[in-house]
Amino acid sequence: MRVLLVEDSLKLASWLCKALQQHGFTVDPIDDGAAADSLLRTETYDAVILDLGMPSLDGLSILQRLRARGSTCPVIVLTARGDLQDRVAGLNLGADDYLAKPFALAELEARLHALIRRAHGVSTPIVRLGPLEYESSGRLFTVGGRRLALRPKEHAVLEVLLMRMGKVVSKSLLHERVFSLDATTGADVVEIYVHRLRKHLAGSGVSIVTLRGLGYVLEAD
């Protein structure tokens, strides 16, 4: 899942990027408010981690502009400001959650997973499609109780497809969700990971169907 991290502390941003990437997130970090607002006009994300005290454009303004454009992208406000007024202001402007610094990484990850699941209409931590199950908290895919040993990018592609089960997912969207902005690969690399996933899922009762010119659909046979 692709996350935009809007944080002007380079030390914190670097640590968060590495930690979230190790747990399967694709992270685009940015340390300027106006640049974040511009990026949110052109790119799509599964969630935004937003610090309020940003240079050039503060976090509340970024949030207000995002919602004014009609975006429903989940937003976690992450800030050192811990008083009630700031929390209320952020929530009233459309923030989905609020986490004050200092925070536990495990809590941030849990909140991210919960917000992304709800954004896709999934209310439980275990997502099922036929014999395929995904436990988001442990990042574990199983088929009929058997664990799927997936590489990070394979895992990321399957997660995107599962969260959109039954819907067509274009190659370009898969690439956007799995690779960060600085990636040098093109969208065609997605075909490699889809091919590998089909081998993992062969005979399982779940398959990735190609709709020529449109994209892929994850379906139970």
Is residue 141 domain-shared with residue 51, that is, in the same domain?
no
Q: What pLDDT was estimated at residue 149?
A: 92
107 and 14 assigned to the same domain = yes
82 and 176 belong to one structural domain: no
Task: State the pLDDT at residue 24.
Answer: 85
| CATH at 105 | 3.40.50.2300
Q: Is pLDDT above 70 for 81?
A: no
Q: According to the model, what pLDDT value does residue 184 have?
A: 84
Give me the percent of the chain exceeding a pLDDT of 90. 69
Look at 43-47, 137-141, 212-216 and tell me which has the smallest mean pLDDT: 137-141
When mean pLDDT is compared across 13-17, 86-90, 98-102, 171-175, the lowest value belongs to 86-90
Nearest to 36 by CA among 78, 92, 83: 78
Residue 108 pLDDT > 90, yes or no? yes
Residue range 12-57, pLDDT digits in tens: 999 999 999 988 899 999 999 999 999 999 999 999 999 988 999 9
Count CB neighbours of 205 within 10 A: 14
Final residue of a domain: which of 88, 119, 150?
Answer: 119
| CATH number, domain containing residue 189 | 1.10.10.10
pLDDT of residue 82: 61
Asked whether residue 98 falls in the same domain as residue 141, the answer is: no
Is the N-terminal amide bond of 55 cis, ω within 30° of 0? no
Q: Please report the pLDDT score of residue 85 as a whole number.
A: 79
Say whether both 101 and 134 belong to one domain: no
> Residue 107 — very low, low, confident or very high, per pLDDT cuts 50/70/90?
very high
Shared-domain flag, residues 143 and 174: yes
Residue-wise pLDDT for 181-210, tens only, equals 888 888 899 999 999 999 999 999 999 999
Please tell me whether residues 102 and 40 are part of one structural domain. Answer: yes
- The backbone region for 27, taken as left when phi is positive above 0, alpha when psi lies in -120 to 50, beta otherwise, is beta
Rounded Cα gap, residues 41 and 155, in angstroms: 28
Alpha-carbon distances of 152 from 1, 7, 23, 26, 212, rounded to whole Å: 11, 25, 9, 10, 26
Structural domain ending residue among the three candidates 119, 153, 173: 119
Paired tokens of 172: 């370009």
Q: Tell whether 7 and 109 lie within a shared domain.
A: yes
* Whether residue 57 sits in one domain with residue 19: yes
- According to DSSP, residue 184 is labeled -
Asked whether the beta carbons of 30 and 6 are under 8 A apart, the reply is: yes
119 vs 169: CA distance, rounded Å: 16
Domain boundary among 119, 145, 175: 119
Q: How many domains does the chain have?
A: 2
Q: Give dist(CA 166, CA 193) in Å, integer.
A: 19
Between CA 204 and CA 197 the distance in angstroms is 11
- Asked whether residue 207 falls in the same domain as residue 182, the answer is yes
Higher confidence at residue 78 or residue 18? 18
Question: 11 with 108, same domain?
Answer: yes
Where would I find the H helices in 30-151? 33-42, 59-68, 84-92, 105-119
- Domain containing residue 140: 126-220
Close Cβ partners of 186 (under 8 Å, ≥ 6 residues apart): 175
pTM value? 0.84
42 vs 100, higher pLDDT: 42
Q: Which of 104, 201, 209 is nearest to 155 (CA)?
A: 201
Same domain, 78 and 136: no
